[in-house]
Amino acid sequence: MRDDGHASGPAAPENPHEGPGLPAVPGDPDAPAFPEDPGAPARMPPSGRNGRRRPRTGTEPVTARSALRLRKLLAVIYTPVFLAGAVLFAIWASRSDAGSTPSSGALGAIAIVCAVLSLLALTDLMVVEHRIRRERDGRG
């Protein structure tokens, strides 16, 4: 107790946002750059092009990979499907009249979307083939 009869407590912090167990306000020039809390996880630099990675927090395997054979099957199926769709919609767009429904512009757009999807599926097929070949040769 103090002399005037009031209970004395801890002094109020200068920054009202700080206190026991409360972090400093972001951007506070007086706040430490890294808290000295021994229980806090170590800060890692952000991942980026320089090869640094964040620490693993989950239970996924270290060398997690996609199902290459399933991707190959899907690419083998959908490459010709999208290519056929692109050709059919392009033919339909070229034979449609000015007043027909759907319009030739819409059909042309669908043909372009199908062509792009066909190219993506073909690219994925080539990537999967390369990865399967690399695993087979023991380089992966």
CA atoms of 107 and 112, how far apart (whole Å):
9
pTM: 0.55
CA distances to 16, 17, 19, 25, 51 from 30, rounded to whole Å, are 13, 12, 14, 10, 32
Phi (first) and psi of residue 85, to 5 degrees: -65, -40
Query: Which tens digit of pLDDT belongs to each residue from 51-97?
Result: 556 676 777 777 767 899 999 999 999 999 999 999 999 999 999 99
Query: Which tens digit of pLDDT belongs to each residue from 87-132?
Result: 999 999 999 998 899 999 999 999 999 999 999 999 999 999 999 9
